Amino acid sequence: MKNLYVFACLLFASSHLMFGQLIINEICYDPSNSGLDGDTNGDGAYAQAEDEFLELYNNTGSPLDVSGYTIFDAENLAIGTPNHTVPVNTMIPAGGVLVVFGGGTPTGSFGGAVVQTSTFGDLNMNNAGDTVYIFDANMMGVDTFDIEPLSNNPNESYTRNPDITGDFEQHGDNFAVLFSPGTMVDGNPFATTVAVASITVAGSSGATSIDTMGGTLQMIATVMPTNASDSTVSWSVTPGSGDASIDSTGLLTAIADGSVTVTATANDSSGISGSTEISISNQTAMGIDEIIANQRISLYPNPSSDAVLILAQEPIQAVQVYTMEGKLLTGLSFEQDRLEIQSLQAGLYLLRIRTADSWKTKRLVKE
């Protein structure tokens, strides 16, 4: 193991100054043992080994995949056992941080940082003198921290001030708190943008079909990571052998038998989307390309350029206008059987018309 230690140190000495992608920004190897003053991980209990932590800053302009990165102290490097191995699929957002605690149950937001606990069960940082090493997945040196010159039982963290570029100082030298894992030294979050990485789309309670006339299904979008800066989505539906409409909340409404593809697209700049297929049945009275006599509803004039009269034998309770892609349009005036369509662009639209007994669908041509 001694050879591994010497080899790793040589790798580190020859490579770590070339990278600077991941920077130790704050380190706590001696949390205070006065009550909860040293409860850095926020789990409501002080424990020397569990409340040690490292805060690692992504110094690149892009998300950084740190899967397989390792953290050693000098003792564990000598035996070839990492104090922490970063799990697969760990991404630090651009300008964001990874906080690794010795253990416990980290509780709190930590400024939205990626938070982990030591896979070894102990960061094992000796405040009487030690060295911390960070390696990438190829065992190339990334950053290091020599505790020896600062072995003064600080009972608090050492932090860069200013963050990222400054020299290390005891946290309490210029700030009232003793540590700030996951945030800048003044307690403000780092200026990160966490992009959406994936979206999974499913029907409520796992439903994959609508089998009632004019039935609805609430669609659910699961956005990952959970701390994405913008986790909102836009809904759309693509007709297949069937047809349906969807509103801005993800409520899918059946129109015609067959299948449709429902898609949720992230509203951030990631371009990420997720889709699923929904089956539709029992919508025989809702065909798009045919006028069914027993609907007892007619449009006049159709085509039209400015307004259309909707004539029905039963009172009309509601009218919805959809694009052929299934997008619900709002803001159109419907009064005394007259639907104003001046604002629509020329093209084909679907009108869903609610009478006393059911929803019915008609095709409208806007000139």
- Per-residue pLDDT of 187-211, as tens digits, reads 999 977 777 889 999 999 999 999 9
Mean pLDDT of 40-54: 97
How many angstroms separate the Cα of 140 from the Cα of each of 4, 57, 74, 339? 13, 17, 16, 68
Q: Please tell me the pTM assigned to this model.
A: 0.56
| pLDDT at residue 316, rounded to an integer | 87
Task: Label residue 125 by pLDDT band (50, 70, 90).
Answer: very high
Report whether pLDDT(3) > 60. Answer: no
> What single letter denotes the amino acid at residue 49?
A
Looking up tokens 């409409």, which residue turns up?
Answer: 245
67 neighbors 89 (Cβ within 8 angstroms): yes
Mean pLDDT of 92-116: 95
Task: Label residue 18 by pLDDT band (50, 70, 90).
Answer: very low
Mean pLDDT of 100-115: 96
Taking residue 307's Cβ as centre, other Cβ atoms within 10 Å add up to: 13
Per-residue tokens: 29:
């190897």
Share above pLDDT 90 across residues of the chain, in percent, rounded to a whole number: 60
| pLDDT at residue 284, rounded to an integer | 53
| pLDDT at residue 128, rounded to an integer | 86
The CA distance from 232 to 141, in Å, is: 38
Mean pLDDT of 31-53: 95
| pLDDT at residue 242, rounded to an integer | 84
Q: 190 in the Ramachandran plot: left (φ > 0), alpha (ψ -120 to 50) or beta?
A: beta
Mean pLDDT of 158-163: 95
According to DSSP, residue 154 is labeled: -
Q: For 335-363, what is each residue's pLDDT tens digit?
A: 988 999 999 998 888 888 888 767 788 88
The CA distance from 286 to 365, in Å, is: 17
| pLDDT at residue 152, rounded to an integer | 81
| pLDDT at residue 13, rounded to an integer | 45
Task: Label residue 9 by pLDDT band (50, 70, 90).
Answer: low
Average pLDDT, the chain: 87
Task: Label residue 230 by pLDDT band (50, 70, 90).
Answer: confident
Q: What is the DSSP string of 260-306?
A: EEEEEEESSTT--EEEEEEEE-S-GGG-SS---GGG-EEEESSSBSS
The CA distance from 286 to 254, in Å, is: 9
| pLDDT at residue 31, rounded to an integer | 95
Q: Using the Cα atoms of residue 336, residue 342, residue 345 and residue 347 in order, give the sign of their dihedral.
A: positive
Report whether pLDDT(299) > 90. Answer: no
161 neighbors 174 (Cβ within 8 angstroms): yes
| pLDDT at residue 348, rounded to an integer | 86
> What single letter denotes the amino acid at residue 348?
L
Find the range with the poorest average confidence among 98-107, 266-275, 322-331. Answer: 322-331
Report whether pLDDT(26) > 60. Answer: yes
Listed residue (182, 187, 142) closest to 28, CA to CA: 182
42 neighbors 51 (Cβ within 8 angstroms): no
Strand partners, 233: 266
Helix or strand holding residue 14 (H, E): helix 2-15
| pLDDT at residue 8, rounded to an integer | 53
Q: Omega before 87 cis (within 30°)?
A: no
